[in-house]
Amino acid sequence: MSKLVRIANGQGFWGDSIDAPVRLVEAGGIDYLTLDYLAEVTLSIMQKQRRKNPKLGYATDFVDLMRRVLPLLKEKGIRVVANAGGVNPEACRSAVLAVARELGVQDLKIATVTGDDVLARLPEFQAAGLKLANMDTGEGLFDAPREILSANVYLQTQAMVEALDTGADIVLTGRCTDPGLTLAPLIHEFRWDAEDWDRLAAGTIAGHILECGAQCTGGNFSRWWEVPELWKVGYPIAECSEDGTFVITKHAGTGGLVSVDTVSEQLVYEMGDPQNYLTPDVVADFTSVRLEQAGPDRVRVWGIQGRPRTPFLKVSGAYLKGHKATGQLVISGPRALEKARLCADIVWQRLKAAGFEYEHTDAEYLGSSTVHAGIAPAPEDPAEIVLRLSVKDGDRAKVERFGRELAPLVTAGPAGVTGFAGGRPKAQEIVAYWPALLPREWVHWQVSTEVS
């Protein structure tokens, strides 16, 4: 019988279910547990945390999770691959090792991958004439003064493979690709060649299906009424073969649904050109994917094709771009939508009379087909409307002033204004995204290990 590698993903983002990965470990029958914590904005938040405290800058939830499962992981021989390291993988490793010592877990080997965080190297790139042009606008990163919060490169998956090759029980990395968390164990286990494009593409697509957790096992599914017991949805498992074919499934007895439709919906998640899905490792052709129902809650995937990787790596950057504030009220009673529009006009007029105008303002009327405008018909006379007002401006003081105008509507606006219970809206920093490309020869990763 050919070798199977079973990989489960228990975390689709920082804030996903705190119990799902525990249930995956308890149920067992898996070789690897992957955990995906990072989104584009997450790294900038972590950088701000590390500036305040050098011991932070990672996904602290990961440490809490390890406290719950470390003994079981060792007992069952399940290895963990996670990007919980954020911008401080070494600090994350230290925190987990402290937990291991506290629990009496011995010989726990943790490898960290670093080199993705290039924030401190930006002056070096600028001096070398690298433009780091915004992939959406073409503007160079250094063309204007900016307060840059973070800059992280999506590392080639080979970095995590080298970490697994050390025999580590846990691999902690910062910014890698989401599918790379799954691809790394497959390259490590099957020793796939670095130019075996079809298999690298297959591992990438397996990782893409798993990366959002329950989103491929019935969560966020358009035919949600067909999904049984969503309250105890099972998180996904990929049973992978050396030839690049795999089956998506979940543990028996869990809720949710694994079907061609649930997997297909996840396949098109965050999709640009389906024939050219670019990663640091391979260009995957999603139009080559073949799916079939292989049994209850089992979908077989095969036929995947790939092409050579590009000479560039993507940089995920973030910078400050002014301030924003959002507040909301409930407007109830007859003619609620008309009254909500009046409330919005009152706020804008009062601010203008006080000498405050903004770079951008927005009014939303939830309950009147705001979300599905043009798709779903709006009710003629809704009994209640949630009025959500927002402003954006470079001047923080102006944004704070906006926050003082909602409460007066309760007594100095039309009848039926309620729901003001959360206090004045506060100004928040706007963290803007900066995607760019960097020649891959400028990026070098490092792997280090430590044992409890």
User: Per-residue pLDDT for 71 more than 60?
Assistant: yes
For the chain, the average pLDDT equals: 96
The rounded distance, in Å, linking the Cα atoms of 433 and 136 is 10
Q: Which residue has the tokens 């009496």?
A: 104
- The answer to which of 2-11, 23-32, 38-47 has the lowest mean pLDDT is 38-47
Top pLDDT among 2 and 256 is at 256
Sign (positive or negative) of CA dihedral 228, 229, 235, 239: negative
pTM of the model: 0.93
Q: Give Cα 217 distance to the centre of its chain.
A: 18
Top pLDDT among 161 and 421 is at 161
User: Per-residue pLDDT for 283 more than 70?
Assistant: yes
The rounded distance, in Å, linking the Cα atoms of 10 and 34 is 6
Predicted confidence band of residue 184 (pLDDT cuts 50, 70, 90): very high
C-alpha distances (whole Å) from 326 to each of 121, 372, 387 are 35, 21, 10
Tokens of 250: 């979940």
Taking CA 387 as the corner, what is the angle to CA 383 and CA 391, rounded to the nearest 5 degrees?
170
The rounded distance, in Å, linking the Cα atoms of 431 and 46 is 12
The rounded distance, in Å, linking the Cα atoms of 36 and 163 is 17
pLDDT of residue 450: 96
Q: Which residue has the tokens 């011995």?
A: 106
Kindly report, residue by residue over 89-123, the tens digit of the pLDDT: 999 999 999 999 999 999 999 999 999 999 999 99
pLDDT of residue 289: 98
The rounded distance, in Å, linking the Cα atoms of 397 and 325 is 11
**How large a percentage of the chain has pLDDT more than 90?**
92
Contact at 8 Å (CB) between 378 and 344?
no
SS (H, E, C) 59-72: CHHHHHHHHHHHHH
Tokens of 434: 């900066």
Residue in 307, 333, 59, 358 with CA at minimum distance from that of residue 202: 307
Predicted confidence band of residue 307 (pLDDT cuts 50, 70, 90): very high
Residue in 291, 197, 289 with CA at minimum distance from that of residue 248: 291
| Domains of the chain: residue spans and CATH | 4-116+154-310 (no CATH), 317-434 (3.30.70)
The rounded distance, in Å, linking the Cα atoms of 270 and 212 is 11
pLDDT of residue 1: 56
Q: Count Cα atoms within 13 angstroms, Cβ side, for 328.
A: 10
User: Per-residue pLDDT for 275 more than 80?
Assistant: yes
First to last CA, the chain: 36
Q: Give Cα 202 distance to the centre of its chain.
A: 21
Predicted confidence band of residue 421 (pLDDT cuts 50, 70, 90): confident
Tokens of 159: 């970095």
Strand order from edge to edge, sheet including 109-114? 290-295, 298-302, 246-249, 237-241, 4-9, 32-35, 79-82, 170-173, 109-114, 446-451
Mean pLDDT of 289-314: 98
pLDDT of residue 380: 83
Sign (positive or negative) of CA dihedral 83, 85, 86, 90: negative
Kindly report, residue by residue over 334-378, the tens digit of the pLDDT: 999 999 999 999 999 999 999 999 999 999 999 998 888 888 888
Residue in 450, 449, 443, 433 with CA at minimum distance from that of residue 39: 433
Number of CB atoms found within 10 A of residue 333's CB: 14
